[in-house]
Chains A and B, each alone.
Chain A
Amino acid sequence: MDSTILISAALNGLLVGGIYTLVASGLTLIYGVLHIINFAHGSLLMMGMFGVYYLLIKLRLDPYISMLIMVPAMYAIGYVLYKGLIGRFSSGKDENILLITLGLSIVLENLALMFFKGDTRTITVGYSDTMVELGPLLFSLPKVISFFIAMLLCALLGLYIKKSNTGKAIRAVAKERMGARLVGIDVDRIFAISYGIGVATLGAAACLLMPIFYVSPYTGHVFVLVAFTVVVLGGMGSFLGAVVGGLIVGLTESFGGLFLGESLGQIGISLIFILILLFRPQGLFGARG
């Protein structure tokens, strides 16, 4: 096979993996703190993408500028969702949280279907089809921008969790809920903040995805299985795991498609999922439970 194609597949896999990383980082944070899988993750991403779409259509706001609105807005939505719905009605039981987030995803998808219809929407901005030339290879500029912003945001998020007081409180709650409560941390508030940050990452991901992808009420499904695989691969609750896992999944998908065809190639992601569960269930960077 032509080496140009191999190099292109590798770089393209990394670029796509960057987006997977950002989508998965919110999921892993929510899992790390609340110890639940957020089933509404895909639907919230889809809502974020519709938000970016309408900010451009109605206010002519560039998707990357939209991040300044979408990230705080999605944080607020996440915070309110936790305080007003998930925290209030779960009675502290994990299985209730699972059911509530599952129900939330169904409601969000059907609301989107009612208001936006099932149509596939895309956006075109001035740089949509601008390509970065690397010798004979062409890479979409929005994809390259998305990769670097995603990596930067993951690093910033990691630093925030590590250095800030709220971040330390989040880590304390993630590690020992009762102990954190005993030293005066408002655990319920930390849950809401964590859920808010998790949803805020989706706001950023939505801004990075819209210039390169489409949105419909079911777009969330396209990414949510991949995000789960990234989280399982990297280790539940591990940020570094989400970054490494996202890039590995991006590469696997790209090379799987190249060697096995785009139809069969996606088997690679499922294979990773099964192998990790069999041989390293805690993931690459996860702590053994």
Chain B
Amino acid sequence: MTPKKSVSRRDILKIGAAGPLLAAPGLLLSQPAPIKIGLVHPVSGGLAYSGGQGRLGCQLAIDEVNAAGGIKSMGGARLQAVLGDSQSRPEVGVSEVERMQQEGVSAYVGCFSSAIALPATQAAAKYNTPFLIDVGASDAIVNRGLKNVFRFKPGFGKCADDAVIALGEINKAAGGIAKTAVLVHEESEFGTGTANLMESKLPSIGVQAVEKIKHANPTRDFNNVVLRIKSLKPDLVIMSNYQNEYVLLARTMYQQRVDVAAFFSVLGGGFNYRLVKEQPQVAEHMMDFNHWFSPTNQRAQAMKKRVESTGNLFTFEVYCGYNATMLYVDALERAKTAAKEQVIAALESSTWSNHFMPYGPTRFINGQNQGGSGALLQATASDIEVVWPGRFASKKAVFPKPKIG
């Protein structure tokens, strides 16, 4: 006689609990493999803040795509961020690219700094892995014939061109009062390259660069630089520096009562909402030609609110990172695969327009988006306003700025 075994309530619960687990392999098989994106940013070291902001922008894009159901043309494949820290050092950026390649990334987004982007993109080129530059000003990043590198935002060549046009227009409107300029720049590729470009282009608007002053990173005191500027009596001071030195230089010029028509920076590292908040007197009337979102775009405004509600600033690194990642997402949707060759082909033929930068549809030549353009910004005592181009300016430029004291 076989013993009769009754099925208890507990047994039924156990089977119930095991059910989903038994079904899981089937579910996993039907789920497409995630697409790994390597985020190569300097989240430690001297550039940590900017790197962290860039990473934040990329992650916002990844979260948004995943929340909306992943890459639709690939059966809802999810995006997965593989995080890297270049530690603000080019050689570490390269080793992060190599590590992420081992982890099977399908593309990279980064690097904030030109000095890191130059070798990092080269390392990725060995594997023909698409590399989307979110921030990195040097034009050498895209001018070396690397087929895998794409930059959505403009480089320093285009920024310098547009900055000179913008400066020329506001100077002309003020009666051409500015005729001389002193250029102050940090010593690496970004600052030196930008200053050289500005020096060569300024004569086209009737402004002569009377001196170029280079400084180290870090510089602890700018008094000598500012005394030199005062002795040259220029009409403009044009700066290209990273955040720390920008802040220190701006404060020293204010304290030493440097009276010029404008403090004008190109891709000024420290020109942001924090400077306006913490040093409103110093920041007021300072001008910066930089990347800026389309102020009338509702998505941009919603994202700005979302970022600020988390205690972060909506800086250019955030929306450049977001849009660079979204550009890759658009290429994935059209290529219907993460295979590198097809994605690169999709990026080359990209006409993506669902972004919130004032660029129009994308069109890449040698990896550089042709429609990209920056905006001329000016700080008020409590905010940052767009003063050029006129089609989306929120305020008229104050030029020349009022005399100090």
Mark A residues whose CB is within 8 Å of B: 2, 5, 8-9, 12, 16, 109-110, 113, 117-124, 129, 131, 138, 140, 213-214, 216-218, 221-223, 226, 253-254, 257-258, 261-263, 265-266
Number of residues of chain B lying within 8 A (CB) of chain A: 43
Query: In residues 336-386 of chain B, which contact A (Cβ within 8 Å)?
Result: none
User: Interface-forming stretch among B2-10, B127-135, B249-257, B297-305?
Assistant: B249-257
Knowing A5-B231, A261-B213, A261-B214, the reply to whether A222 touches B220 (Cβ < 8 A) is yes
A121 pairs with B255, CB closer than 8 A: no
Knowing A122-B279, A140-B255, A262-B213, the reply to whether A253 touches B244 (Cβ < 8 A) is no
Knowing A253-B220, A262-B216, the reply to whether A113 touches B231 (Cβ < 8 A) is no
Q: Which residues of A contact B222 (CB under 8 A)?
A: 262
Query: In residues 216-237 of chain B, which contact A (Cβ within 8 Å)?
Result: 216, 218-225, 227-228, 231
CB distance from B343 to the nearest CB of A (A): 31
Residue from A2, A12, A218, A223 in contact with B45 in the complex, judged by beta carbons closer than 8 Å? A218
A131 pairs with B255, CB closer than 8 A: yes
For this complex, 9 residue pairs linking A to B, each with C-beta atoms less than 8 Å apart, are: A9-B227, A119-B313, A121-B274, A213-B220, A218-B46, A223-B220, A261-B213, A262-B219, A265-B224
A12 pairs with B214, CB closer than 8 A: no
CB distance from B247 to the nearest CB of A (A): 6
B 251-277 binary contact with A (CB < 8 Å = 1; else 0): 100111100000000000010001000
A9–B222 Cα distance when bound, in Å, is 11
Interface assignment of B52: CB less than 8 Å from any CB of chain A: yes
A221–B254 Cα distance when bound, in Å, is 26
Q: Which residues of A contact B281 (CB under 8 A)?
A: 124, 129
Interface assignment of B215: CB less than 8 Å from any CB of chain A: yes
Q: Which residues of B contact A222 (CB under 8 A)?
A: 218, 220
A222–B253 Cα distance when bound, in Å, is 21
A118 pairs with B254, CB closer than 8 A: no
B225 pairs with A257, CB closer than 8 A: yes
Interface assignment of B48: CB less than 8 Å from any CB of chain A: yes
Interface assignment of B66: CB less than 8 Å from any CB of chain A: no
Residue from B48, B219, B220, B247 in contact with A113 in the complex, judged by beta carbons closer than 8 Å? B48
Q: Which residues of A contact B284 (CB under 8 A)?
A: none
Residue from A120, A129, A226, A262 in contact with B247 in the complex, judged by beta carbons closer than 8 Å? A120
A121–B48 Cα distance when bound, in Å, is 13
CB distance from B234 to the nearest CB of A (A): 16
Number of contacts between A and B (CB, 8 Å)?
108
A35–B399 Cα distance when bound, in Å, is 58
Knowing A120-B247, A129-B254, A262-B216, the reply to whether A113 touches B221 (Cβ < 8 A) is no
A109–B272 Cα distance when bound, in Å, is 24
B224 pairs with A257, CB closer than 8 A: yes
Knowing A8-B227, A120-B243, A129-B281, the reply to whether A263 touches B46 (Cβ < 8 A) is no
| Further contacts, 4 of them, CB under 8 A, given A120-B274, A124-B281, A221-B218 | A5-B227, A222-B218, A222-B220, A262-B225
Q: Which residues of A contact B83 (CB under 8 A)?
A: none
B251 pairs with A122, CB closer than 8 A: yes
Name the residue of chain B whose CB is nearest to the CB of A57: B278
A117 pairs with B221, CB closer than 8 A: no
Interface assignment of B74: CB less than 8 Å from any CB of chain A: no
Interface assignment of B44: CB less than 8 Å from any CB of chain A: yes
Name the residue of chain A whose CB is nearest to the CB of B45: A218
Interface assignment of B43: CB less than 8 Å from any CB of chain A: yes
Knowing A8-B227, A117-B52, A262-B224, the reply to whether A124 touches B278 (Cβ < 8 A) is yes
A138 pairs with B257, CB closer than 8 A: yes
Residue from B218, B221, B224, B255 in contact with A129 in the complex, judged by beta carbons closer than 8 Å? B255
B49 pairs with A253, CB closer than 8 A: no
A16–B223 Cα distance when bound, in Å, is 10
CB distance from A142 to the nearest CB of B (A): 10
The 4 closest A-B pairs by CB, nearest first: A118-B48, A118-B49, A262-B215, A263-B214
A221–B220 Cα distance when bound, in Å, is 11
B227 pairs with A16, CB closer than 8 A: no
Name the residue of chain B whose CB is nearest to the CB of A217: B48
A32–B243 Cα distance when bound, in Å, is 37
Q: Which residues of A contact B228 (CB under 8 A)?
A: 5, 258
A258 pairs with B224, CB closer than 8 A: yes
Name the residue of chain B whose CB is nearest to the CB of A256: B224
Q: Which residues of B contact A16 (CB under 8 A)?
A: 220-221
Knowing A5-B227, A119-B49, A120-B270, the reply to whether A262 touches B214 (Cβ < 8 A) is yes
Name the residue of chain A whose CB is nearest to the CB of B50: A118
Q: Which residues of B contact A218 (CB under 8 A)?
A: 45-46, 48
Q: Which residues of B contact A121 (CB under 8 A)?
A: 274, 278
Interface assignment of B93: CB less than 8 Å from any CB of chain A: no
A21–B214 Cα distance when bound, in Å, is 27
CB distance from B147 to the nearest CB of A (A): 33
Q: Which residues of B contact A140 (CB under 8 A)?
A: 255
Residue from A12, A118, A123 in contact with B221 in the complex, judged by beta carbons closer than 8 Å? A12
Q: Which residues of B contact A2 (CB under 8 A)?
A: 231
B49 pairs with A216, CB closer than 8 A: yes
Knowing A9-B224, A117-B52, the reply to whether A266 touches B248 (Cβ < 8 A) is no
A122 pairs with B247, CB closer than 8 A: yes
Interface assignment of B84: CB less than 8 Å from any CB of chain A: no
A119–B225 Cα distance when bound, in Å, is 24
A110–B45 Cα distance when bound, in Å, is 10
A140–B282 Cα distance when bound, in Å, is 14
A222–B280 Cα distance when bound, in Å, is 25
A121–B282 Cα distance when bound, in Å, is 14
A262–B187 Cα distance when bound, in Å, is 10
Name the residue of chain B whose CB is nearest to the CB of A2: B231
A266 pairs with B224, CB closer than 8 A: no
- Residue from A9, A262, A263 having most chain B Cβ neighbours under 10 A: A262
Interface assignment of B51: CB less than 8 Å from any CB of chain A: yes
CB distance from B303 to the nearest CB of A (A): 19
A138 pairs with B255, CB closer than 8 A: yes
Q: Which residues of B contact A257 (CB under 8 A)?
A: 221, 224-225
A126–B265 Cα distance when bound, in Å, is 27
